[in-house]
C-alpha cells in the first residue's frame, strides 16, 4: 500500500499516512486531487478507480471516506478488507467510533493504524492482538503520565477542537 487517507464528506483531511517518501508539496497535490475525484463519485459506483499508475480503493463509513492507494498487482478486495478491519479496530477501541473521535484523538487513531499496518503491509491480522498492544502501550503511557505532573493528551483534544472549526 502506498498511502492511506481519511477525509470527511466536506473534503477535510482527517488522517493521512504515507508509506512512500514524498515531498509535502506532492502529498498535498495528490490529496487534493484524490479527495476531489473520490467525492465526485456517486454512492452506487464501485469502490475502485485507476489513478495514475495506482489503484485507489476507497470506502465510505458514515461521514468519513477511507481511501487507500495500492499498486497495480495488489488485490483490491483485500484492501477493502484492510479498511474494514481498521474501522473495526477503531470501533472497538473507541466504542462505536465517530468522526469526532478521530479528530479529538487523532494520535490514537494513528497509533492503532501503526499497530495494524507497518510500512504499508499488514502487520497483525488479529484484532485482539492489535488492541492488546495498544492497550498496553496506553497503560504504559498512563503510568508515565501520573508520574509526571499533569499535561495530558486531552489538552491536545481541546486544541484540535479549535482547529476543527476553521
Partner 1 sequence: AKYISQCIDEIKQELKQDNIAVKANAVCKLTYLQMLGYDISWAAFNIIEVMSASKFTFKRIGYLAASQCFHEGTDVIMLTTNQIRKDLSSPNQYDTGVALTGLSCFVTPDLARDLANDIMTLMSHTKPYIRKKAVLIMYKVFLKYPESLRPAFPRLKEKLEDPDPGVQSAAVNVICELARRNPKNYLSLAPLFFKLMTSSTNNWVLIKIIKLFGALTPLEPRLGKKLIEPLTNLIHSTSAMSLLYECVNTVIAVLISLSSGMPNHSASIQLCVQKLRILIEDSDQNLKYLGLLAMSKILKTHPKSVQSHKDLILQCLDDKDESIRLRALDLLYGMVSKKNLMEIVKKLMIHVDKAEGTTYRDELLTKIIDICSQSNYQYITNFEWYISILVELTRLEGTRHGHLIAAQMLDVAIRVKAIRKFAVSQMAMLLDNAHLIASNTQRNGICEVLYAAAWICGEFSEHLEEANQTLEAMLRPKVTTLPGHIQAVYVQNMVKLYASILQQKEQSGEKEAAQEITQLMIERLPQFVQSADLEVQERASCILQLIKYIQKLQIKEVPVAEEVIALFAGELNPVAPKAQKKVPVPEGLDLDAWINEPPSDSESEDEKPKTIFHDEEQRHSRHRQPEIDEEELARRREARKQEQANNPFYIKSSPSPQKRYQDTPGVEHIPVVQIDLSVPLKVPGMPMSDQYVKLEEERRHKQKLEKDKKKKKQKKEKRGKHHRHNSLHTESEEDIAPAHHVDIITEEMPENALPSDEDDKDPNDPYKALDIDLDKPLADSEKLPVQRHRNVETLKSPDSEAPLVEKKSKKPKKKEKKHKEKERDKGKKKEKEKKKSSKHKKKKHKKEKEEKSKDKKKSKKKSHHSEEETTESVQNGTLDDEPLPPMSSYRLLAENPYVKMTYDIQGNLQNDSQVTVSVIFENKSTSFLKSMELNVLDSLNTKMLRPEGSSVHDGIPVPFQLPPGISNEAQFVFTLQSIVMAQKLKGTLSFIVKNDEGSTHEKLDFKLHFSCASYLITTPCYSDAFAKLLESGDLHMSSIKVDGISISFQHLLAKICFHHHFSVVERVDSCASMYSRSIQGHHVCLLVKKGENSVSIDGKCNDSTLLSNLLDEMKETLSKC
Q: Interface residues with partner 1 (CB under 8 A)?
A: 13-19, 21-24, 28, 31, 42, 44-49, 73, 75-78, 80-81, 106-107, 110-111, 114-115, 118-119, 121-126, 129, 133, 136-137, 140-141, 144-145, 147-149, 151, 153, 155-156, 159-160, 162-163, 166
Classify the C-alpha dihedral 107-87-115-70 as positive or negative: negative
Q: Select 63 or 107, whichever has its Cβ closest to partner 1.
A: 107
Residue 143 Cβ vs partner 1, minimum distance, rounded to whole Å: 9
Distance CA(9)–CA(29), nearest Å, equals: 18
Q: Which residues pair with 87 in a beta bridge?
A: none
Distance CA(105)–CA(75), nearest Å, equals: 30
Burial group, residue 16, by CB count within 10 angstroms (0-12, 13-18, 19+): middle
Residue 91 Cβ vs partner 1, minimum distance, rounded to whole Å: 19
Residue 123 Cβ vs partner 1, minimum distance, rounded to whole Å: 6
Amino acid at each position: 500500500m502506498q498511502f492511506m487517507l481519511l477525509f470527511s464528506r466536506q473534503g477535510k483531511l482527517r488522517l493521512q499516512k504515507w508509506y512512500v517518501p514524498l515531498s509535502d508539496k506532492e502529498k498535498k497535490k495528490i490529496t487534493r486531487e484524490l479527495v476531489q475525484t473520490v467525492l465526485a463519485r456517486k454512492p452506487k459506483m464501485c469502490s475502485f478507480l485507476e489513478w495514475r499508475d495506482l489503484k485507489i480503493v476507497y470506502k465510505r463509513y458514515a461521514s468519513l471516506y477511507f481511501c487507500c492507494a495500492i499498486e497495480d498487482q495488489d488485490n483490491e478486495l483485500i484492501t477493502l478488507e484492510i479498511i474494514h478491519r481498521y474501522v473495526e479496530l477503531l470501533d472497538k477501541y473507541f466504542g462505536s467510533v465517530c468522526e469526532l473521535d478521530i479528530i479529538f484523538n487523532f494520535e490514537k487513531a494513528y497509533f492503532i493504524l501503526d499497530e495494524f499496518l507497518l510500512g504499508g503491509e499488514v502487520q497483525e491480522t488479529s484484532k485482539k492482538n492489535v488492541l492488546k498492544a495498544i492497550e498496553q502501550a496506553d497503560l504504559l503511557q498512563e503510568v508515565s503520565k501520573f508520574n509526571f505532573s499533569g499535561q495530558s493528551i486531552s489538552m491536545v483534544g481541546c486544541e484540535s477542537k479549535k482547529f476543527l472549526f476553521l
